[in-house]
Amino acid sequence: MPESYRWLVSQGRREDAKRVIHNVARVNDVEVPKHLLDDHTEEVPTVDGTLSVANSKVELVSHNKHENKSKKTVIDLLRTPNMRKRTFNMFFCWAVCTLVYYGLSSNSGTLGGNIFVNFIATMLIEIPSYVFSYLVLDRMGRKGTLSFVLLLGGVACFISGFIPEGYDWLVVVLSLLGKFGIAAAFAIVYIYSAEIFPTEYRSVGVGSCSMCARVGGVVAPFIASLADVYKPLPLLIFGILSIVSGCLIVFLPETVGCELPQTLQESEAFGSDQSVWYFWCFAKCQKPPTPEDHTAASDA
């Protein structure tokens, strides 16, 4: 596999990055855009008001010798206020996704009806959830889709906790809807996390999120076992946690159609001017990549 072009640029390995770009162009039988390889410092505004990749890579190369000497850790992601909020938000989201995902799988045996049919259905429901994610991820955006599926799964689980006895089929249906939402969230959160964190801290950020997710995986069987105390209790806990996480995701910036941040400085400013911007873009059913549209949105 070729190395990431963005990562090579962030490490100052510009010649290696150019070779990757040329290989990509050759395989796809396209011409390399000149602006990808030019060494200039022209400031091109992006969706969120930060500088474009062309300008950012020059800054990265110029400071590379000093910055890369220090080891990058998750502590660096917690030093600035915006990145700190986003990092903890993603930590919680990953933990919830893992807890609810494995918790619903473990809880399938207590739903009533045939335990084998319930378990098989709980597994098969993931297929349409991934298809749904694929179809809407670029249309609704990362943030919108992730928040929607978390709220969908959470509300379904929460409501199923109040279904009276004798309606086991309805509990099973709502639980499957909850698994649909959380399985889709589990797929989306990988993509969204990789785009939220800057290039130079992407592996650190995603790895730390994955570590927090294991906490949810450890707790999941214990939450599912609470059905012995009160049968609807696991579903109520899963529903509440999913709803809370879905609401918190709203406070994160959208990444679809944006120039992704490469440094912590860019990440700190990333998404600071998206509220009016994205409201206008989605109202016009457009993607948000051009500075001209940004000016029109501000005027509107």
pLDDT band at 55 (very low <50, low <70, confident <90, very high): very low
Say what the pLDDT of residue 75 is: 87
Residue 277 tokens read as 């911007």
pLDDT at 71 over 80: no
pLDDT at 180 over 50: yes
Instruction: Evaluate whether 225 touches 91 at the Cβ level (below 8 Å).
Output: no
Predicted confidence (pLDDT) per residue in 234-251, tens digit? 889 999 999 999 999 999
Q: What is the mean pLDDT of the chain?
A: 79
Say what the pLDDT of residue 243 is: 95
State pTM to two decimals: 0.71
- 286 against 265, higher pLDDT: 265
Instruction: Evaluate whether 176 touches 104 at the Cβ level (below 8 Å).
Output: no
Instruction: Evaluate whether 32 touches 25 at the Cβ level (below 8 Å).
Output: yes
The number of angstroms, rounded, from the C-alpha of 124 to the middle of its chain's C-alpha atoms is 23
Please compute the mean of the pLDDT values over residues 31-44 and round it to a whole number. Answer: 63
Per DSSP, the three-state class of 130 is helix
Residue from 43, 39, 45 nearest 58 by CA: 39
Predicted confidence (pLDDT) per residue in 111-140, tens digit? 666 788 888 888 899 999 999 999 998 888
